[in-house]
Amino acid sequence: MLSPSVATRLLGQVRAPADPLSARELEVLHLIAEGATNREAAARLFISEATVKSHVLHIYTKLGVNDRAAAVAVAFRRGLLTLDDG
């Protein structure tokens, strides 16, 4: 028997890809890939740090990852980021 959190994580890996990233989430992801902190991303996008954190958590969920490096790696693998983006 699996705990609900483990079952949800496993199902997330089996299901079709989650919703595509929104335009703002892609902007945040680009800044993450550049190495920007939440504070720096917030300043560049003219939004609060809390909003950046919310976008980062949505990115993690949609990409099925739990850290910034993994999010960037998955984004490159899926073609959401390219070397020409910078």
Taking the domains of the chain in order of start, what are their residue ranges?
22-81
pTM of the model: 0.77
The whole-angstrom separation of Cα 79 and Cα 75 is: 6
Convert the pLDDT of each residue in 45-63 to its tens digit: 999 999 999 999 999 999 9
- Other CB atoms within a 10 A radius of the CB of residue 72 amount to 21
Class assignment of domain 22-81? mainly alpha
Q: Which helix (H) or strand (E) holds 52?
A: helix 49-63
- Residue 84's pLDDT is what? 79
Q: Which helix (H) or strand (E) holds 12?
A: helix 4-14
For the chain, which residues score pLDDT lower than 50?
A: none
